[in-house]
Amino acid sequence: MIVFYSSLYSSHFISVTFALCTTISMKYYIFTFLVITIFNQSFSQVEPVNTSGRKGDFYIYWGWNLSAYSKSDITFTGDNYDFTLDDVVAYDRQSDFDPIKYLNPGSITIPQYNFRIGYFINDKYNISIGADHMKYVMLRDQTVRINGRIDDTSTLYNGVYDNEEISLDRSFLQFEHTDGLNYINIGLRRMDHLWDYKFFSLQAVTGLEGGIIIPKTNTKLLGRQRYDEFHVSGYGLSAVLGLNFEFFEHFFVQTELKGGYINMNDIRTTADTSDSASQSFLFRQVNMVFGARFKLWD
C-alpha cells in the first residue's frame, strides 16, 4: 500500500478549504465519476449540450495546492561515500494564509502554487504549459535503514552499513526541495460540458501531463557546506481530474486532483559536482485555482 505524507504545518485557511480533499484520494475519483455520470444522464436528456465556442480561446489560471508524497529511497554518491536511505518520509510545506503573501505580486510565489496557460485547439481539447510549485521536506529525526559506505574519518558516520538503522538528525542530513519542487510541464486536457444555467456552467476536466523537474534543493550532508541552487534534476508524469465552474462564459474556479510520478536522478547536494543524489516517488496534489478564458483574436 502506498502511503502519502502531506504538510505538518498547513494554515487554518488552507486546512478549511481543503479539509475533505486532503484525506481522500480514490474517494475523490469515485465522487467525480459519479457526478459526471449523473449530470450526463440527467441533463443531456433535458436539452442538447452546446459545447461550441471554445476553439481558439486561451485560458490562464493561478491557484494553490496541497501535496503529498510516497516514501522514497534516496541514494547519495560522492568521492568518498555511496549509500542509500530506504523509505524516507517527506511532507509538503504550504504557507500559512496571509493576504499579503498570497495576493501581493511580490510574494505570490512563496506559497505552493499552480500556474497554467492554455489554448483550445477545438471545442473540447486544449494544450497548455504550466508550473506546479510544490515543496518537499524530509521529516527530521526519523529512523530509516541505510546501506552503503561512508569513507570519511572526520565524521562520526564513517563506516560500512548493511541494512542498519540510522536517525536522520541535522548532524547527518538536512534535505528538502523547498524553493521548491518545481514541475514545469506541458499537457493535453479535455473539457466536457456537464450542465449550464443562465450565466453558470459546469465542466469536467481530464488530462495528461509531462515535463521536467527543476528543484532548488536545500541540502546539508555530513557537515558539508549548505547547498541551495536551481538545477534540472529529472522528469515528471501526471494525470489530472477536475471540475470547472465557469461564470459569465469567461471566469472560472476549478478544483483538481492530480497524481503522478517524479524521477530525479541528478540532484545537486553540494557545490562539488561529483556529489549528487537520486530519488523517485509518487505524488498527489489537491488544487484550487482561479482563472479566465478569453480570445486574443477572432
Is 3 contained in some domain? no
- pLDDT band at residue 105 using 50, 70 and 90 as cut-offs: confident
Q: Specify the CATH number for the domain of residue 253.
A: 2.40.160.20
Q: Give the per-residue pLDDT at 3.
A: 60
Is 2 contained in some domain? no
3-state secondary structure (DSSP) of residue 38: helix
The dihedral through the CA atoms of 222, 225, 228, 229 has a sign that is: negative
Spatial CB neighbours of 161, under 8 Å, sequence gap ≥ 6: 83, 146, 147, 148, 149, 150
Q: What is the pTM of this model?
A: 0.82
Q: Give the per-residue pLDDT at 271.
A: 87
| Of 100 and 232, more confident | 232
Q: Give the per-residue pLDDT at 91.
A: 96
Grid cell, residue 144, equals: 530509516
* Dihedral in degrees, nearest 10, Cα atoms 251, 253, 257, 260: 40
Spatial CB neighbours of 295, under 8 Å, sequence gap ≥ 6: 56, 57, 58
- pLDDT band at residue 2 using 50, 70 and 90 as cut-offs: low
Is 80 exceeded by the pLDDT of residue 17?
Answer: no
Is 50 exceeded by the pLDDT of residue 72?
Answer: yes
Q: Give the per-residue pLDDT at 99.
A: 84
Is 168 contained in some domain? yes
Count: domains in the chain: 1
- pLDDT band at residue 165 using 50, 70 and 90 as cut-offs: very high
Q: Give the per-residue pLDDT at 5.
A: 63
Spatial CB neighbours of 16, under 8 Å, sequence gap ≥ 6: none
Is 67 contained in some domain? yes
Buried b / exposed e across 34-54, counting CB within 10 Å, b at 16+?
Answer: eebeebbeebeeeeebeeeeb
Q: What is the C-alpha to C-alpha distance for residues 49 and 195, in angstroms, rounded to an integer?
A: 8
Is 16 contained in some domain? yes
Is 152 contained in some domain? yes
Q: Give the per-residue pLDDT at 14.
A: 39
Please check whether residue 222 is in contact with residue 172, taking contact to mean a CB–CB distance below 8 angstroms: yes
Is 80 exceeded by the pLDDT of residue 146?
Answer: yes
pLDDT (tens digit per residue) in 33-44: 544 444 444 444
Is 4 contained in some domain? no
Residue span of the structural domain in which 36 resides: 12-294
Is 162 contained in some domain? yes
- pLDDT band at residue 4 using 50, 70 and 90 as cut-offs: low
